[in-house]
């Protein structure tokens, strides 16, 4: 435990001084832009000031900024926090820091060029942002190699436990290494263990015996909702052993993303969150959808024509593929996509059912034999979804929302999963920017529900920006 705490403190210190160094570099760059490169109004020779006149100002600005970043929790963000969320905190803190320095300058009657501080805001945010992007990429690579990763033990191997373990193993870049799992109903001894399967380490009662020998850093309790007594016992054992723990919720098969917790005289009351996309929020979202759609068609019509030509040259059949999907409130609509399969591919679905690689009601095959050559490229780059812009203009879809489902999938939904039908489906969404086809159906639905209940205009913008690198890399697309 000491080594882990030392590593946490060391990481905190490294990030703190790294950000301070990048902020200092940003201030120096702002000085050079204003006084040496003279971007903006020309600095007269009589008004030229050497850099040493600004050293105390730069140090004050960096000190205030680092204090703000520390108090606003930048160094306590979870591992899954996006770069955009991190940089938004940096930008907000830099704004306050620059404002504070300007107040200090007025109070001390130090009247230097104000344009320098405008440049300083941009260069400091830019330097910290680029530096963090490089440092984050390095750390994710180290985690993916098992260096510095948190050793995690999962308690429970039911559907919820399997979901947790699958998520850990599919995202090594988040810095978690799955040591194994505990389960009171062990797998049959005559079942040969697969090389890529999590290790079974014993019964739940064996937890105290495994914490130190297995060097466990964190325990995730993923037991079914009817095992609350065991969950409490496991949580108490973790507390006694000084081990961090988290509980994966299984309250009536819904995640805590759906739960709204209030208090009544100190008594916690649990209810369901409301759908956030309503009223003026719905008006704002619709305005964003129409604006993006019109701009996309005005700028992208040559690409539409080129793709249509390539599809016709590659295989016989129509350019567009039309399919019945289920929209908001369960209303059916016809989704429009570029055709990526040969004609009559839908009739072969039953024949290929045994090759299905997706979970739940989804149907996905990584090397689907029905896909054409051009279609494979279109799927990899998500260009096949461009015609859905017309669905957005018709009010049948949104740019951001849950994945549009086909009727046969919706027929298999459980009651809690139907929440994703409360809003318009989207061309992209949290599911698209978080893993695309690599996600299980359960993970996809939980992301959709989180989005529905926590929507904001900024969240839509973040998802759209996060989708770009995912599409470019082709990760999880097939």
The tens place of each residue's pLDDT in the chain, 478 residues long, gives 445 667 778 888 999 999 999 999 999 999 999 888 877 777 666 666 788 888 999 999 999 999 999 988 888 877 767 788 888 889 999 999 999 998 888 887 766 677 888 899 999 999 999 999 998 888 888 887 878 788 899 998 888 888 888 888 877 777 888 999 999 887 776 555 566 688 888 888 888 888 888 888 889 988 887 787 888 888 888 887 778 888 887 644 444 445 555 544 455 555 556 667 877 888 889 999 999 999 999 998 999 999 999 998 888 888 998 989 999 988 999 999 999 887 766 666 666 665 655 555 555 666 677 788 888 888 888 888 999 999 999 999 999 999 898 888 888 888 778 888 889 999 998 877 765 556 677 778 888 888 888 888 888 888 888 888 777 665 555 4
| Domain limit, last residue, from 234, 250, 266 | 250
In-domain check, residue 372: yes
6 shares a domain with 129: yes
Structure token digits, residue 441: 């159906």
User: Do both 68 and 181 map to the same domain?
Assistant: no
- Identify whether residues 343 and 455 lie together within a single domain: yes
In angstroms, the CA 378 to CA 365 distance is: 16
Q: Which of 296, 315, 431, 430 is nearest to 376 (CA)?
A: 315
Both 52 and 188 in one domain: the answer is: no
CATH number at residue 170: 3.40.50.720
Residues 6 or more apart in contact with residue 144 via CB below 8 angstroms:
172, 173
Q: Is 197 left (phi over 0), alpha (psi -120 to 50) or beta?
A: beta
> What is the per-residue pLDDT for 454?
81
Whether 310 and 436 share a structural domain: yes
Whose structure tokens read 């890399």?
473
In sequence order, what E strands does 113-266 have? 150-155, 176-182, 200-202, 218-221, 244-247, 259-264
Q: What angle do CA 241, 243, 248 make, to 5 degrees?
A: 125
- 181 shares its domain with 313: no
- What pLDDT shows up at residue 141? 85
**CA 296, CA 289: separation in Å to the nearest integer?**
11
Nearest to 417 by CA among 434, 405, 426: 405
Whether 103 is in a domain gets the answer yes
Q: What is the pLDDT of residue 288?
A: 92
CA–CA–CA angle 263, 418, 438 (5° rounding): 100
pTM: 0.59
Q: Is residue 127 one of the residues assigned to a domain?
A: yes
Quote the CA–CA distance of 170 and 53 in Å, as a whole number: 53
What is the helix (H) or strand (E) element at residue 97, kind and residue range?
helix 83-107
- 133 and 154 assigned to the same domain: no
Q: Is residue 270 part of a domain?
A: no
Longest dimension (CA), the chain: 88
DSSP 169: H
Question: Which residue, 114, 144, 174, sits at the end of a domain?
Answer: 144
Same domain (yes/no): 314, 426: yes
Q: Which residues contact 265 (CB under 8 A, 6 or more apart)?
A: none
Backbone angles phi, psi at 357, to 5 degrees: -105, -5
For residue 274, being part of any structural domain is answered with no
Q: Rounded CA gap, 304 and 297, in Å? A: 9
Q: Check residue 253 and give left, alpha or beta (phi > 0: left; psi -120 to 50: alpha).
A: left
Same domain, 88 and 174: no
Cα–Cα dist 95/117, whole Å = 10
Structural domain contains residue 271: no
Residue 360 pLDDT = 55
In a domain, 267, yes or no: no
Which residues fall within 8 angstroms of residue 404, CB to CB, at 6 or more apart? 325, 326, 327, 335, 397, 425, 426
**Boundary-marking domain end, from 113, 144, 175:** 144
In a domain, 134, yes or no: yes
Whether residues 245 and 292 share a domain: the answer is no
Do residues 460 and 281 make contact, with C-beta atoms less than 8 angstroms apart? no
**Same domain membership, residue 467 and residue 358:** yes
pLDDT at site 265: 47
The verdict on 164 and 100 lying in the same domain is no
pLDDT in the model for residue 115: 84
Q: How many domains does the chain divide into?
A: 3
Alpha carbon distances (Å) from 242 to 29, 216, 238? 46, 11, 6
Strand partners, 341: 371
Distance CA(113)–CA(238), nearest Å, equals 57
Unique residue bearing structure tokens 């009657």:
109
Provide the pLDDT for residue 361: 57
Domain that holds residue 432: 280-473
State how far Cα 76 lies from the chain centre: 17
């Amino acid at each position: 435990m000491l080594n882990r705490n030392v590593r946490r403190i060391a990481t905190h210190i490294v990030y703190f001084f790294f950000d301070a160094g990048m902020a200092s570099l940003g201030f120096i760059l702002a000085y050079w832009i204003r006084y040496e490169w003279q971007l903006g109004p020309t600095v007269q020779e009589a008004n030229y000031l050497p850099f040493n006149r600004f050293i105390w100002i730069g140090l004050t600005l960096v000190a205030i900024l680092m204090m703000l970043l520390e108090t606003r929790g930048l160094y306590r963000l979870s591992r899954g926090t996006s770069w955009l969320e991190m940089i938004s905190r940096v930008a907000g803190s830099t704004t306050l820091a620059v404002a504070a320095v300007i107040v200090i300058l007025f109070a001390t009657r130090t009247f230097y060029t104000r344009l320098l501080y405008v440049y300083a805001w941009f260069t400091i945010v830019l330097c910290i942002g680029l530096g963090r992007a490089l440092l984050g990429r390095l750390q994710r690579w180290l985690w993916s190699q098992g260096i510095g990763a948190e050793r995690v033990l999962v308690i429970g191997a039911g559907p919820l436990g399997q979901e947790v373990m699958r998520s850990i193993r599919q995202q090594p870049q988040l810095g978690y290494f799955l040591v194994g799992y505990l389960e009171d109903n062990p797998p049959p001894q005559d079942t040969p263990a697969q090389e890529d399967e999590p290790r079974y380490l014993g019964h739940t009662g064996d937890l105290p015996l495994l914490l130190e020998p297995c060097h466990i850093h964190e325990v995730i309790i993923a037991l079914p909702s009817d095992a609350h007594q065991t969950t409490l016992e496991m949580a108490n054992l973790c507390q006694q052993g000084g081990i961090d723990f988290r509980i994966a919720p299984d309250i009536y098969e819904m995640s805590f993303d759906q739960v709204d917790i209030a208090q009544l005289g100190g008594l916690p009351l649990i209810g369901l969150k409301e759908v956030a996309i309503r009223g003026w929020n719905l008006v704002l979202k619709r305005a964003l959808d129409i604006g993006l759609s019109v701009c996309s068609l005005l700028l992208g019509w040559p690409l539409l024509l080129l793709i249509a030509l390539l599809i016709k040259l590659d295989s016989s059949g129509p350019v567009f593929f039309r399919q019945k999907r289920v929209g908001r409130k369960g209303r059916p609509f016809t989704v429009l996509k570029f055709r990526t399969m040969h004609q009559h591919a839908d009739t072969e679905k039953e024949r290929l059912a045994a090759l299905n690689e997706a979970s739940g009601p989804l149907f996905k095959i990584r090397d689907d034999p029905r896909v054409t050559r051009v279609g494979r490229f279109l799927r990899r780059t998500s260009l096949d979804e461009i015609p859905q812009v017309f669905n957005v203009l018709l009010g049948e879809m949104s740019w951001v929302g849950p994945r549009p489902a086909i009727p046969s999938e919706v027929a298999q939904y459980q009651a809690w999963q139907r929440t994703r039908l409360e809003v318009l489906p989207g061309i992209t969404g949290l599911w698209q920017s978080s893993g695309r086809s690599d996600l299980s159906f359960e993970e996809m639905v939980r992301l959709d529900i989180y989005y529905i209940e926590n929507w904001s205009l900024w969240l839509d913008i973040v998802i759209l920006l996060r989708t770009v690198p995912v599409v470019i890399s082709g990760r999880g697309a097939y």
